[in-house]
């Protein structure tokens, strides 16, 4: 059963999240060609548990249609990651709700866009959005044990290693060894409240100023 009858009313069906360099927005049929081109890459698809490989336009089309429905029923909240300057489609990010009290984050970017901090920027924005708008106690993540880049993205977003196990991954034809990560709401709230301290020259005590 999906955790929410529908995603909260405060979330309009087509809302967007803007970051410094990105816009996270609802996936569209216009994304299909770019999505298929970027996801049809073993370095991308085989690191995920869900993307079929090879990945064609029909897979991308089915994904966009499925996400439209999943958003309405509150099962998933997926976004296309768009470059703010060019409007180019770069990849996808989303939250799934396997349990009522938590959301699971997943993401991928086309290989030409790796290594610029974009996944971290998108994930931080979505984590903030998730905790700000949804009644969840934690955000979890999983990655293949060999996926150092994804592990690092989660660490940079404050998720901590929890344990390892096997993930049922039909698109990979079996089970995959994975590491699991978690960010609890109180920890996220603490990071967000963390205001930088001011470093300054110490003032001499008043007694030392006296003639
Ligand atoms: C995982 C992925 C989204 C990361 O995207 P990205 O925009 O390059 O990520 P970022 O630049 O925000 O951060 C990547 C971090 O991993 C590090 N990294 C990348 N490859 C690494 C490697 N082989 N070993 C160790 N660290 C690595 C980077 O140095 C960076 O860390 P830093 O900022 O401390 O230097 C992208 O590689 C991808 O789409 N991979 C295929 C799909 C996938 O793995 N999805 C996640 C499934 S769980």
CATH number at residue 135: 3.40.630.30
Work out whether strand 76-83 and strand 138-144 pair parallel, antiparallel, or are unpaired: unpaired
Q: Which residue of 142, 152, 155, 159 sits with most ligand 1 atoms within 8 Å of its CB, as the best mutation to test the pocket?
A: 152
Helix axes 118-133, 148-156, angle to 10 degrees: 50
* Ligand 1 within 6 A of CB of 102: no
Beta-bridge mates of residue 94: 78, 106
Please tell me whether residue 167 adopts helix, strand or coil conformation.
strand
Is 84 part of a structural domain of the chain? yes
Which pLDDT value is given to residue 79? 97
Ligand 1, closest atom to CA 110?
Answer: 39
Q: What is the pLDDT of residues 68-100, one digit of tens each?
A: 999 888 889 999 999 999 999 999 999 999 888
CA distance 167 to 144: 9
CA end-to-end span of the chain, whole Å? 77
Top-confidence residue, 210 or 128: 128
Is 157 part of a structural domain of the chain? no
pLDDT level of residue 211 (50, 70, 90 thresholds)? low
Cα 194 to ligand 1 centroid, rounded to whole Å: 25
Per the structure, the complete domain to which residue 29 belongs is given by: 17-139
Nearest residue by C-alpha to atom 11 in ligand 1: 117
Nearest residue by C-alpha to atom 47 in ligand 1: 48
Is 7 part of a structural domain of the chain? no
Residue 6: pLDDT above 80?
Answer: no
Q: Which residue of 149, 153, 158, 169 sits with most ligand 1 atoms within 8 Å of its CB, as the best mutation to test the pocket?
A: 149
Is 201 part of a structural domain of the chain? no
Nearest residue by C-alpha to atom 10 in ligand 1: 117
Is 211 part of a structural domain of the chain? no
CA 203 to chain centre: 46
Cα 151 to ligand 1 centroid, rounded to whole Å: 7
Give me the number of domains the chain comprises.
1
CA distance 183 to 159: 5
Q: What is the pLDDT of residues 97-139, one digit of tens each?
A: 988 899 999 999 999 999 999 999 999 999 999 999 999 999 9
Q: What is the pLDDT of residues 26-67, one digit of tens each?
A: 999 999 999 999 999 999 999 998 999 999 999 999 999 999
Cα 185 to ligand 1 centroid, rounded to whole Å: 24
Which pLDDT value is given to residue 11? 61
Which pLDDT value is given to residue 1? 40
CA distance 79 to 77: 7
Which pLDDT value is given to residue 206? 77
pLDDT level of residue 198 (50, 70, 90 thresholds)? very high
CA atoms within 13 A on the CB side of 58: 3
Is 64 part of a structural domain of the chain? yes
Is 100 part of a structural domain of the chain? yes
Is 40 part of a structural domain of the chain? yes
Instruction: Give the residue-averaged pLDDT of 174-186.
Output: 96
């Amino acid at each position: 059963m999906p955790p929410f009858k529908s995603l909260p009313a405060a979330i309009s069906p087509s809302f967007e999240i803007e970051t410094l360099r990105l816009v996270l927005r609802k996936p569209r049929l216009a994304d299909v060609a770019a999505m298929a081109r970027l996801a049809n890459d073993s370095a991308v698809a085989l690191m995920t548990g869900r993307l079929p490989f090879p990945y064609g336009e029909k897979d991308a089309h089915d994904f966009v249609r499925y996400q439209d429905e999943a958003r309405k029923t509150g099962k998933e909240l997926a976004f296309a990651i768009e470059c703010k300057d060019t409007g180019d489609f770069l990849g996808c990010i989303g939250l799934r709700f396997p349990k009522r009290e938590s959301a699971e984050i997943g993401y991928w970017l086309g290989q030409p866009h790796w290594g610029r901090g974009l996944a971290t920027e998108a994930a931080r924005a979505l984590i903030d959005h998730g905790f700000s708008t949804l009644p969840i106690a934690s955000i979890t993540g999983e990655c293949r044990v060999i996926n150092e880049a994804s592990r690092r993205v989660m660490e940079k977003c404050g998720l901590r290693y929890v344990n390892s196990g096997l993930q049922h991954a039909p698109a990979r034809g079996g089970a995959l060894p994975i590491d699991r990560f978690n960010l609890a709401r109180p920890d996220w709230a603490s990071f967000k409240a963390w205001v930088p301290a001011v470093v300054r020259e110490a003032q001499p005590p008043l007694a030392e100023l006296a003639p």
